[in-house]
Amino acid sequence: MLDVRGGIRLEDDVTISNRASIVTHINVGFPDHPLQKMYPMKESHVLVKKGAYVATGVIVLPNVSIGKESVVAAGAVVTKSVSDHVLVAGVPAVVKKKL
């Protein structure tokens, strides 16, 4: 699922596996929803750099970059940018090893 509202940039040789979601905006609902004051709409781009691999069921949130030749393990939730040449996993995703 690609939410392109905030913009998604995929560099060369990127793999996005099945059932992965790249989210570029978050909104609790209609403009006068009671939670809008505490959780205003957030919109920002996502960048997936050259040679990165985003595995099955990953969720990438707005304002995140996935580093060059990095791997995001299956089921991870990426809330912060990922460095180049690392493997990240978990909820939230954290570096497990350098590649």
pLDDT along the chain (99 residues), means of 10: 96 98 93 90 96 98 98 98 98 98
Q: Which fold has domain 8-98?
A: UDP N-Acetylglucosamine Acyltransferase; domain 1 (2.160.10)
pLDDT for the residue numbered 96: 98
How many residues are listed for the chain in this entry? 99
pLDDT for the residue numbered 59: 98
Residue 83: C-alpha distances to residues 8, 9, 28, 33, 66 (Å): 18, 16, 30, 36, 7
pLDDT for the residue numbered 31: 85
> pTM of the full predicted structure?
0.93
pLDDT for the residue numbered 30: 86
pLDDT for the residue numbered 29: 85
Tokens of 83: 């460095």
